Structure 1
């Protein structure tokens, strides 16, 4: 194998990293196994590049060490406690060791590939395209009863979007919030008064909220509202739009009773039933199990 000059290798790594970054949002929508491969490639490529350039300055950033401490604690909790080591314990340890690829991939995006303006621009465009695609599939299914692939609503009335199962609301909530905030900020540059900026931002967030309510998935709706609240704590300009969304949520959920009674039943009635019988629900069983683990071993979460 011939010698490859370091500058050439760095250029190849940069191009592959940019490609993986731009493919990531697309394959998070369809074929998620490829998306995980993109994440793995970003993590490995970033570490290789840091070693070649001897640039580890990103390790000094404030949010890097908490992630590494979390990973160390995860590995410590997964260490086998018995000899011989069972196959299940070995698999748990392997999963814990490999979990570092997720924060490292995030560091790669923050400190490597998205440092280039053209990569940021195209990544924004692709994320917005994915949001429009998911939202369009949800809206089409809500209006006609089927998505572009002919899949109907799920049996409980919830929307499936471009899928055959109701899992569209999770990626839509995660991608829709930053996309709506970016579009709101872009449109807000054209107005001067603060109330006009708040109105524009609220107008871009409201369709995302409406589609999540229409989807009938409570956890994705809660994730979106929680994320909006966190953003409002950091950015004071988002506090009025966030408060408006919080006020609008019950009204939209109430309207869902007439627009889609099945989705309303899944979003509201089923939630009310599960909360009323929380101890016997699957969520209650998970909670009780976690409480026992914490009581027995507060740090490691082990049960003997």
Structure 2
């Protein structure tokens, strides 16, 4: 069972590129295998661990308090009931699949290979204008093998999580292969992120790099010089790119335009509507996935110019869809896993860099001011949960909470 779950986890990044339904299927199968394993061994101790227990409470709240009172109950129940797969997937990856160093090595190499292929295809698209692997024709932003321009955030979330895992593995057993490969692949992937034209992915990647550099600086000694050198290199590279590429410069200027007139932008209007929906339904929200369904009524009133399926902000979506009863425990979960990284970064030596990379990975999913994809729809949710789970598993490895091997049936 463990071997099968490891194989499915290895395939998730590739499935996200080419077969989104298969990616969701892999998440479900990993969750089911973990439940079977827990039943066979009568080991349900994981449900009592703080982060997982909070997620299970959120799921119960979604189904018992949010969906029954939703504007469109069928839509909400469809989202709330199926959200359990992400909870069990997160538990499986962090407490079982990646609690084994052999599995960690396999996952690292599989993820790095997939990232390299996706980034190489996106680079080809940058020069040729089209993808070799079936992605959409380039139109202002890169898509790589994807059918929409999300390659930047895909590479950032998957790349940072994998690098965190690879470095944690290096710290644990001093085997450098995955770590050395990871450095090269992450550097290449981040170059593609900045070439992609994705504003959110580029800004969040800079913040993630900053977290990693803080961790590297806290290692001490020559690592501080390395951190300053990398910072100069990154800033110099971004500055050069803005100078030589009119397309990237225009995308960067668009960030300033949005920030300067946020309330007048579509992102500001969507966030304002999400906040209004929360104030009108402060306890339970409008229901999961209901934002796009209730939006047309407000557009008819002239409140918003155009409707989208979600408000393009992670936290506003939680508030508008689940109200305080869903958002507050979600904030508790975020605080638990963020605090684990903050606490670990103080351990010094190489542990500080593991924690810095870990916090950088979390920034990509949890930074509150970013314009984001939906927190609940399949593709972005799978991408986020895969990234978060791998990062948490890496931190647990760094804390010495893994085994050198496990029996494949366990």
Q: TM-score range by the shorter chain?
A: 0.7 to 0.9
Alignment-derived partner of residue 262 in structure 1:
247
Matched, 1:210 2:195: no
Alignment-derived partner of residue 301 in structure 1:
285
Alignment-derived partner of residue 9 in structure 1:
none
Write out per-residue CA displacement over residues 141-181 of structure 1, whole angstroms, 9 at most, x where no aligned residue.
2234443248686222x222223432211211111113344
Alignment-derived partner of residue 5 in structure 1:
none
Aligned CA distance change for structure 1 residues 299 and 223 (closer, same or farther; 3 Å): farther
Alignment-derived partner of residue 8 in structure 1:
none
Q: 8 Å contact 1:43–1:101 — kept in the other structure?
A: yes
Alignment-derived partner of residue 298 in structure 2:
none
Write out per-residue CA displacement over residues 37-90 of structure 1, whole angstroms, 9 at most, x where no aligned residue.
0101111221122122110122232321222233233334532338xxx8x311
Matched, 1:128 2:128: no
SS of structure 1 residue aligned to 2:194: helix
Provide the rounded CA distance (Å) in 2 between the counterparts of 1:224 and 1:237: 21
Write out per-residue CA displacement over residues 260-282 of structure 1, whole angstroms, 9 at most, x where no aligned residue.
3123312x122222223322322
Q: 8 Å contact 2:129–2:138 — kept in the other structure?
A: no
Alignment-derived partner of residue 237 in structure 1:
219
Q: 8 Å contact 2:156–2:193 — kept in the other structure?
A: yes
Write out per-residue CA displacement over residues 104-124 of structure 1, whole angstroms, 9 at most, x where no aligned residue.
112111222223333222111
Matched, 1:36 2:21: no
Alignment-derived partner of residue 78 in structure 1:
66
Aligned CA distance change for structure 1 residues 231 and 113 (closer, same or farther; 3 Å): same
Provide the rounded CA distance (Å) in 2 between the counterparts of 1:173 and 1:260: 21
TM-score, structure 1 as length reference: 0.75
Alignment-derived partner of residue 179 in structure 1:
162
Provide the rounded CA distance (Å) in 2 between the counterparts of 1:245 and 1:222: 17
- State the 1:31 CA deviation: 0.8
SS of structure 1 residue aligned to 2:150: coil
Provide the rounded CA distance (Å) in 2 between the counterparts of 1:299 and 1:246: 44
Q: 8 Å contact 1:184–1:204 — kept in the other structure?
A: no
Structure 1 residues not aligned, in runs of 5+: 1-12, 192-196
| Pairing partner for 2:126 from 108, 121, 142 | 142
Provide the rounded CA distance (Å) in 2 between the counterparts of 1:201 and 1:17: 23
Matched, 1:273 2:251: no
Aligned CA distance change for structure 1 residues 204 and 185 (closer, same or farther; 3 Å): farther
Aligned CA distance change for structure 1 residues 104 and 165 (closer, same or farther; 3 Å): same
Provide the rounded CA distance (Å) in 2 between the counterparts of 1:233 and 1:296: 42
Aligned CA distance change for structure 1 residues 71 and 252 (closer, same or farther; 3 Å): farther
Which structure has the bigger radius of gyration?
A: 1
Aligned CA distance change for structure 1 residues 291 and 243 (closer, same or farther; 3 Å): farther
Provide the rounded CA distance (Å) in 1 between the counterparts of 2:233 and 2:61: 41
| Pairing partner for 1:68 from 53, 56, 59 | 56
Aligned CA distance change for structure 1 residues 61 and 129 (closer, same or farther; 3 Å): same
Provide the rounded CA distance (Å) in 1 between the counterparts of 2:229 and 2:55: 34
| Pairing partner for 2:148 from 149, 161, 165 | 165
Provide the rounded CA distance (Å) in 2 between the counterparts of 1:76 and 1:59: 19
Q: 8 Å contact 2:5–2:29 — kept in the other structure?
A: yes
Matched, 1:119 2:100: no
Provide the rounded CA distance (Å) in 2 between the counterparts of 1:69 and 1:209: 36
- State the 1:234 CA deviation: 6.9
Cα RMSD over matched residues? 3.5
